[in-house]
Structure 1
């Protein structure tokens, strides 16, 4: 199925089996070798390039499989990073097929078959992966196919549409897109974080100030409603029925990291604005304080009692990837960030000793041993952590712009004519939608800083 360096590395370790006690990240060569094998093992969870399967998605949603649509979008972004960091192009054709196929008929990452589990955050993750492809000069699709920059612009434009914004809570995006979805009454940080992140990056890439204005407006709203505190705690969200005053104070690492990376891009776009520098600094300090106890990534709301959903089991990888990426556009944070990323990655690979192959990765990195928790998210976490170490060693890991080497074709009007799933206009409900919706409406109780509602769980 795959025929380049990743296969070679994986095959070599297969022979070693359980005798191979742990990976190494001591040298650049070790980092690449470890990343190649972790990437190979991650891709064993993907079947979309097999006969009769749907390109682009991981098995799911429940009960058909463990994974919701958004997580595959996040996985392709992880693998784009892996390609740029290491130079291994083994998965490039699969990535392109997946991301083009899932763009949907309107080329906006709103495919009708995921309607009943489609949130602004879900769409946003696919849009951010497309944006990453444009910024890192991932090979462009054929000219007759959707282009990376245009896809990112389409996602942004659909989310900037008046249909997505209302006067409840004085603004902000809702979690869900269709009004009929469970969770439509919740305005959460990750949905607004995806929009903010895309706006900041599009502003820098295109130099179009409208994107920056939206990013500013989104930050101001999130801060004003209390989702980001003066101490840079980043809370999960609140309900419109309470005017967003019933704050869910759960702190997930990806909420901090998505705003941190967006703020770093705004710092870069504004040529070092003191306001954005302060925000970047504050979020970095908050991330290290809240999510890296003893220098190892720890997902507080779920890992404390191991009440993690499948979604949460992938958050550490985004934390590592986005912190590393932020150092390239806001280099002043590197002395704080890079040592923590390394100590955390060392702990991460120490969990990769599980199952029959002796190298399956776990989730509880602080234990420094395999904990029996395995899956695409766990592998993606370790791949993100290991690959991100290359940010110090690969000078080609650069976020380009339209004026500094970018090749992806854009369309500032992309997504303008997309259907917004207004009442009476919902696409037909499929069997897969019904299966996913049944799980979406399940109640999850997690004990951290008190009991909080399932809306904070991402699904």
Structure 2
């Protein structure tokens, strides 16, 4: 990828102010916001090396111990860059974004590349599907006809996650979507909010885009499961999840992206249903509680980890929350009066601490302190980029549908029907002969994979 230098960005009219030093932006001026966002995006992609010889396109360095990032954060990165492109008009990263997304689709065109089996969560797959869905909605350049298409990729993820193999078959948690895809993965018996919320969100968006009520029905069913299990409290707290067999040991940690994923999905269904009162009430209650829990003094904060230790995953949640609250203002305009002032104050705090790195404008994580915390990363940059572009959302073009200019081709039967646990032919005496040698090889290969496998 050719990265544009700051002087060249300035020549293109995408940057104002100084080339080096603290990030300078006037949040009352859309042009200034776009200029600052261009700088943050440029710095964000310094953490991406997948377009360099010998590296894998699409992913950020990792997983641990080889780098800080799991596979899903690559999908989150490209969703952030698609939103950046949509809100600013900057198409200079298109080649990189397209290559990244298409490289990770996997052999069944469903964002299930075999290399990531040992840590494949339904939420991980969904984050790539969410980026494909966003590409569909913003009218992003369609892939060549011999490549999988954005809408079909989102449908593939949704279809596979609808399959009974991914679901709890019976009991109090029946039809809940498991956290992990494969039975061998730690966390397979954890029924968490984010996996179900991602499915709900994609379903809501497919319903609106295709005008197919089946997607809406499945999304609504998922909301009811999350609510009935107590993952959304009477006060509209959104908890993390619980374990089988009965999902009663609720982990009451609250992370902003859980609530924000539900909020954005509710906004899509509110828009799809022409302002249904039930979805309006859910939106309004979530917004009120999210501001109270995640925006103390109107500044984004992660209460379940920020006072102690947030990992690299958690260090990226603020940006998604800003972006999804921003799109909520588009789809449910009555929320703008309440949401916008909070996002603006939060973005101001975010920008204020972008004073790090060699260029003096890299961003940290702790926005409430007002000072740079001496730790940089892709998550921190995505956070501030999300905060900036969320302020442009109310006046941006709303998400497209297939009747309002969307061009991406879909496939209602997309996805694989292959069993999650493959079946094998009976073992013969000849097969056993080489088993001892192969076992040693397989164990050596497996240890490195399971060392960084998702922890429950």
TM-score, structure 1 normalization = 0.90
Shift of 1:421: 2.1
Q: 1 CA distance for matches of 2:369 and 2:201?
A: 32
Q: 1:53 to 1:132 in 2, by over 3 A?
A: same
Verify the 8 A CA contact 1:5 1:36 in the aligned structure 2: no
Superposed CA deviations along residues 278-332 of structure 1, whole A, max 9, x for unmatched, are: 0011111111011000000001111022x11110000000000000011111111
What is the aligned counterpart of 1:261 among 239, 260, 264?
264
What is the aligned counterpart of 2:323 among 300, 321, 324?
321
Partner of 1:216: 220
Partner of 1:70: 72
Q: 1:433 to 1:90 in 2, by over 3 A?
A: farther
Partner of 1:450: none
Partner of 2:436: none
Q: Does 1:330 align with 2:329?
A: no
Which has the bigger relative contact order, CA under 8 A and spacing at least 6? 1
What is the aligned counterpart of 2:137 among 97, 117, 135?
135
Superposed CA deviations along residues 7-42 of structure 1, whole A, max 9, x for unmatched, are: 73489899854xx23321332221111100100010
Verify the 8 A CA contact 1:14 1:357 in the aligned structure 2: no
Partner of 2:104: 102
Shift of 1:398: 1.5
| SS across alignment from 2:304 | helix
Q: 1:420 to 1:55 in 2, by over 3 A?
A: farther
Partner of 1:452: none
Verify the 8 A CA contact 2:363 2:380 in the aligned structure 1: yes
For residues 12-411 of structure 1, what are the structure 2 equivalents within 5 Å? Answer: 16-17=19-20, 20-26=21-27, 27-166=29-168, 167-168=170-171, 169-241=173-245, 243-305=246-308, 307-394=309-396, 397-411=397-411
> Which of structures 1 and 2 has the bigger CA Rg?
2
Partner of 1:421: 420
Q: 2 CA distance for matches of 1:430 and 1:390?
A: 51
Superposed CA deviations along residues 62-89 of structure 1, whole A, max 9, x for unmatched, are: 1111100000100100000000000001
Shift of 1:354: 1.0
Q: 1 CA distance for matches of 2:221 and 2:391?
A: 33
| SS across alignment from 1:44 | helix
After superposition, the CA RMSD in angstroms is: 2.1
Shift of 1:431: 7.9
Verify the 8 A CA contact 1:6 1:88 in the aligned structure 2: no
TM-score, structure 2 normalization = 0.91
Q: 1:257 to 1:379 in 2, by over 3 A?
A: same
Q: 1:272 to 1:218 in 2, by over 3 A?
A: same
Question: Greater shift after overlay, 370-379 or 22-31?
Answer: 22-31
Shift of 1:439: 2.7
Shift of 1:229: 1.3
Unaligned runs of 5+ in 2: 425-440
Superposed CA deviations along residues 254-287 of structure 1, whole A, max 9, x for unmatched, are: 0000000000111111111111110011111111
Q: 2 CA distance for matches of 1:3 and 1:188?
A: 38
Q: 2 CA distance for matches of 1:34 and 1:439?
A: 36
Superposed CA deviations along residues 379-404 of structure 1, whole A, max 9, x for unmatched, are: 0100111112112443xx21010111
Partner of 1:439: 452
Verify the 8 A CA contact 2:326 2:394 in the aligned structure 1: no
Shift of 1:406: 0.5
Q: 2 CA distance for matches of 1:280 and 1:412?
A: 29
Q: 1:371 to 1:171 in 2, by over 3 A?
A: same
Verify the 8 A CA contact 1:61 1:436 in the aligned structure 2: no
Q: 2 CA distance for matches of 1:3 and 1:303?
A: 33
Q: 1:324 to 1:432 in 2, by over 3 A?
A: farther
Q: 1 CA distance for matches of 2:7 and 2:120?
A: 35
Q: 1 CA distance for matches of 2:445 and 2:296?
A: 40
Partner of 1:412: 412
Unaligned runs of 5+ in 1: 443-454
